[in-house]
Copies of this chain bind each other. A is one copy, B any other.
Amino acid sequence: MGGKIQSLPGFRDFYPEDCAVRNYVFDHWRSVAHRYNFHEYEGPILENSELYQKKSGEEILQQLFHFEDRGDRSVAMRPELTPTLARMAVARQRDYRKPMRWFGIGQFFRYEKPQKGRGREFYQLNVDILGESSESADAELIAFAIDLMLDFGFGVEDFVIRLSNRDAWIDFMQAESMTADNLQEFLQIIDKMERESPETTDKKLIALGSSRQAVDNFISSSAADKHFSSIIQNLKARNLADHVTIDLGVVRGLAYYTGTVFEVFDRGKAMRAVAGGGRYDNLCGLISNDASSMPACGFAMGDVVITDLIRETKNANSRLLNHLGGVNTTDVQVIIADETVRSEALYTIQQLRGAGFRVNYSMTDNKVGKQFSQAEHAKARVAVIIGSEYPKVGVKDLAERKEEKIDSGEIINLVRAILDKTPEGPLYA
CA distance A65 to B65 in the complex (A): 12
Do B8 and A75 touch across chains, with their CB atoms under 8 A apart? yes
Do A14 and B42 touch across chains, with their CB atoms under 8 A apart? yes
- Among residues of B, the one whose C-beta sits closest to the C-beta of A360 is B37
Question: Within 8 Å CB of A36, what residues of B?
Answer: 353, 358-359
- Among residues of B, the one whose C-beta sits closest to the C-beta of A343 is B237
Question: Within 8 Å CB of A73, what residues of B?
Answer: 8
Do B48 and A6 touch across chains, with their CB atoms under 8 A apart? yes
Chain A contact residues: helix, strand, loop or mixed: mixed
Determine if A158 is an interface residue (Cβ-Cβ < 8 Å).
no
Number of copies: 2
Question: Within 8 Å CB of A357, what residues of B?
Answer: 35
- Of the listed stretches A130-138, A172-180, A253-261, A317-325, chain B binds A130-138
CA distance A238 to B352 in the complex (A): 11
User: A83: shortest Cβ distance to chain B, in Å?
Assistant: 8
- Of the listed stretches A91-99, A160-168, A185-193, A219-227, chain B binds A91-99
Per-residue B-contact encoding for A232-271, CB less than 8 Å = 1, 0 else = 0110111110000000000000000000000000000000
Do B364 and A51 touch across chains, with their CB atoms under 8 A apart? no
Count the A residues whose beta carbon is within 8 Å of the partner chain — how many? 99
User: A156: shortest Cβ distance to chain B, in Å?
Assistant: 16
Do B65 and A46 touch across chains, with their CB atoms under 8 A apart? yes
Question: Within 8 Å CB of A206, what residues of B?
Answer: none
Determine if A405 is an interface residue (Cβ-Cβ < 8 Å).
no
- Of the listed stretches A18-26, A307-315, A411-419, chain B binds A18-26
Question: Within 8 Å CB of A228, what residues of B?
Answer: none
Do A13 and B350 touch across chains, with their CB atoms under 8 A apart? no
Do A121 and B90 touch across chains, with their CB atoms under 8 A apart? no
Determine if A398 is an interface residue (Cβ-Cβ < 8 Å).
no
CA distance A35 to B71 in the complex (A): 44
Do A65 and B69 touch across chains, with their CB atoms under 8 A apart? yes
User: A5: shortest Cβ distance to chain B, in Å?
Assistant: 5
Do B4 and A90 touch across chains, with their CB atoms under 8 A apart? yes
CA distance A377 to B18 in the complex (A): 40
Do A8 and B50 touch across chains, with their CB atoms under 8 A apart? no
Question: Within 8 Å CB of A358, what residues of B?
Answer: 34-37
Do B65 and A5 touch across chains, with their CB atoms under 8 A apart? no
Q: A15-B92, A44-B7, A90-B4 are in contact. Are A350 and B136 (CB under 8 A)?
A: no
Do A67 and B67 touch across chains, with their CB atoms under 8 A apart? yes
CA distance A146 to B394 in the complex (A): 29
Per-residue B-contact encoding for A58-92, CB less than 8 Å = 1, 0 else = 00000001011111010101000000100110111
* A102-119, CB < 8 A from B: 102, 107, 109, 111
User: A28: shortest Cβ distance to chain B, in Å?
Assistant: 13
Do B16 and A349 touch across chains, with their CB atoms under 8 A apart? no
Per-residue B-contact encoding for A181-209, CB less than 8 Å = 1, 0 else = 00000000000000000000000000000
- Most B-side CB within 10 Å, residue of A84, A109, A346, A349: A346
Question: Within 8 Å CB of A40, what residues of B?
Answer: 16, 19-20, 23
Q: Which of B87, B239, B328 contacts A7 (CB 8 A)?
A: B87
Question: Within 8 Å CB of A109, what residues of B?
Answer: 45-46
CA distance A359 to B363 in the complex (A): 48
Which residues of A line the B interface, CB within 8 A?
1-9, 11-16, 18-20, 22-23, 34-37, 39-48, 50-51, 54, 65, 67-71, 73, 75, 77, 84, 87-88, 90-92, 95, 97, 99, 102, 107, 109, 111, 121, 129, 132, 134, 136-137, 140, 143, 147, 233-234, 236-240, 287-289, 328, 330, 342-347, 349-350, 353, 356-360, 363-364, 374, 377-378
The 4 closest A-B pairs by CB, nearest first: A237-B343, A67-B67, A11-B44, A237-B346
